[in-house]
Amino acid sequence: MQTNLRRFRWLGTRTPPSDRRRLVVITGARQTGKTTLARELYPDLRYVNLDAIEERESVRSLHTSAWGRTVGPALIDEAQKEPGVFDKVKYAYDENAVRFSVLLGSSRVLLLRQVRESLAGRAFVYELWPLTLSEIGAPAGTPPPRPLFDRLITAPEDFAEMLLAEPPRLLGAEAAARAEAFDHLAAWGGMPELLSLDDEDRREWLRSYQQTFLERDLADLGRISDLLPFRKLQRLAMLRTSGLLHYAELARDAGLGTATVRRYLEYLRLSYQVILLPPYSANLTSATIKTPKIHWMDLGLLRQETGYSGELTGPLFESLVVSEARKWVDTLARDTPLSFYRTRNGREIDLLVTTPRGLIGIEVKNRGRIVHRDASALRALGAALDDQWVGGLVVHRGEDITDLGGGVWAVPVHRLFG
C-alpha cells in the first residue's frame, strides 16, 4: 500500500473554484481529511483554525464590520467552535466585502445548525466521507476513471452494454493494486491517516479515535453524563451490522429504554458512524419488511471496538458494499436513493439503487465463486418489477465478471467500486 497521505478525493471535483461568489461548507466525521482537501483546493485562502483558543478569542473580539478588511476570503476550520463567526461571514458576504469563504467542521449537528440559522440560502454544503475503494488506490494527481458502479447508476440504459464491454478479468499491476486497496479497506477502514502507519500504530490510532469521538464529538451531540451505556449500545449496534434494526430488542439487550436507544442511534447516524438503510417503499407486496437495516460505516472502527480481527464475514462484507455505495452516492450527489428489499418469508435483496430509469438490485456474496442460483432472488424481483427493472448484480470477492442470465451479472467488488 502506498503510504503517501495525499490522496485524490472525488469531492474535489464538485467543490467550486475560489473565483466564484460562494460560501462553501465542508463537513464530515473527524479525521476524514477535510482540512487536507480544503487546503489543497484553496491554497491562496487565509487559514483560520478555531481549534486554537487564541484564534477563537481573536475572531470573537473582531468587529463584524471589519471582517472583510481583516480576515477576507478565508478557510475557517472547526467553525462551529465560535458560533459568532457565521454572522460575521454572513455580513461580509452580503456586503460583498467577501465573495468566497470555506467553513469546515467535524460536528455535523452544531455546524449545520449554525448554517441553517445564519447562512441559509447562501451556503453550499458538502460532506467528506472516509476514503472510498477507488480513492485508496489513487494518489493525488490525475483523477482515476469513474468506478463501474457510477457508470451503471448514471447511465442505466446502457447497463448490459457496459458490463459486456468490461474485460472479464483484470491482470497484472492493476489487479494487484485493486486487491490491495480492498484488503486495506476490509481490514482497517477508510481513514486516510492509517495509510501511513504500521499495524500496531493503526490499532493505537483507532483506539484514540474512538476515545476522542466519545469525549469530544459525542459531547457536541448530546449531554451524556455516563458514557458506559452509550458504549454498550454502540458495540451492540456494531455486532448487528447488516441486520434488521429492532429497537425494542436492542433496548432490552443494552438495558436501556427504547427512546434512549433511538436517540443514541441518531447520534451515531449524525456522526457518520452508521447507515440506517430504509426498506424499499414501493408496495410490491404487503408482506415486505418495514424496519430499516443497520450498517456500520467503517470496518476499521468496528473491528477495533469489537476486538474482531479475523476474516471478512458475510455481514461485514455486506456493510462494506453498502457503505461504498453510500459514500459514492453522497460524495457525487447522485440522485439515486438506496434501500433494501425483504419479504416476511425471507426473500431479500441486500441493496436497491433507484435510478431515473428504474431499479438496480445488488446481492452481496462473501465468496469467490458465484453460481447460477445466486441470482434467483434478483431474477424474481426483476420479473415482479417488469419495466421498472434495470438489471441485477451479484457482488463477490472473486476475479471475474460473468453474465448469469436474465439481466443479472456477477461482478467482483474491486471491479464495481475500484
Specify whether the CB–CB gap between 412 and 401 falls below 8 A. Answer: yes
Give, in degrees to the nearest 5, the angle at Cα 372 between 370 and 373. 100
Residues 272 and 380 in one domain: yes
- Within a domain: 2: no
Predicted confidence at residue 285, as pLDDT, reads 60
**d(Cα 204, Cα 6) in Å, to the nearest integer?**
21
The answer to whether 408 and 394 have CB atoms below 8 angstroms apart is: yes
Rounded to whole angstroms, the Cα distance separating 243 from 253 reads: 15
Residue 92's CATH number: 3.40.50.300
| Among the listed residues 334, 254, 251, 349, the one whose alpha carbon sits nearest the alpha carbon of residue 293 | 349
pTM as predicted: 0.93
State whether 184 and 116 are in the same domain.
no
Closest-CA residue to 143 (of 158, 132, 152, 153): 132
* Helix 227-239 × helix 247-254 angle, to 10°: 130
Q: Please tell me the total number of residues recorded for the chain in this structure.
A: 418
**Residue 1 belongs to a domain:** no
Task: Look at residue 77 and tell me if it is in a domain.
Answer: yes
Triad 177, 402, 188: Cα angle to 5°:
35
Q: Are residues 174 and 68 in the same domain?
A: no
Q: Distance from first CA to last CA of the chain, Å, rounded? A: 14
Pick the last residue of a domain from 98, 128, 158: 128
168 and 291 together in one domain? yes
Q: Does residue 384 lie within any of the structural domains?
A: yes
Is position 5 within any domain? no
Nearest to 411 by CA among 362, 341, 338: 362
For residue 384, the model assigns a pLDDT of 87
192 and 57 co-located in one domain: no
Asked whether residue 83 falls in the same domain as residue 144, the answer is no
Closest CA to 193 of 312, 298, 80, 267: 298
Q: Are residues 123 and 140 in the same domain?
A: no
Residue where a domain stops, chosen among 97, 128, 159 = 128
**Domain residue limits at 191:** 136-417
pLDDT score for 2 = 47
Number of domains in the chain: 2
Answer yes or no: do 185 and 236 share one domain: yes
CA distances from 294 to 191, 196, 238, 297 (A): 21, 30, 9, 9
Considering the domain architecture, whether residues 158 and 240 belong to the same structural domain is answered as yes
Same domain, 121 and 196: no
| 183 and 327 share one domain | yes
Per-residue model confidence as pLDDT tens for the chain (418 residues): 444 557 899 999 999 999 999 999 999 988 999 999 999 999 999 999 998 999 999 999 999 999 999 999 999 999 988 989 999 999 999 999 999 999 998 877 677 788 888 888 899 999 999 999 999 988 766 788 999 999 999 998 999 999 999 999 999 998 999 999 999 999 999 999 999 999 999 999 999 998 887 777 776 666 666 778 888 999 999 999 999 999 999 999 999 999 999 999 998 998 899 999 999 977 666 566 789 999 999 999 999 999 999 999 999 999 999 999 999 999 999 999 999 998 877 789 999 999 999 999 999 999 999 999 999 999 999 998 888 999 999 999 999 999 999 999 999 999 999 9
E strands, 92-184, are 100-105, 123-127
- Domain membership of residue 343 (yes or no) is yes
With respect to residue 4, please indicate whether it lies within any of the assigned structural domains.
no
Q: Do 149 and 106 lie in a common domain?
A: no
Instruction: Choose one of 128, 146, 176: the last residue of a domain.
Output: 128
Does 372 reside within a domain? yes
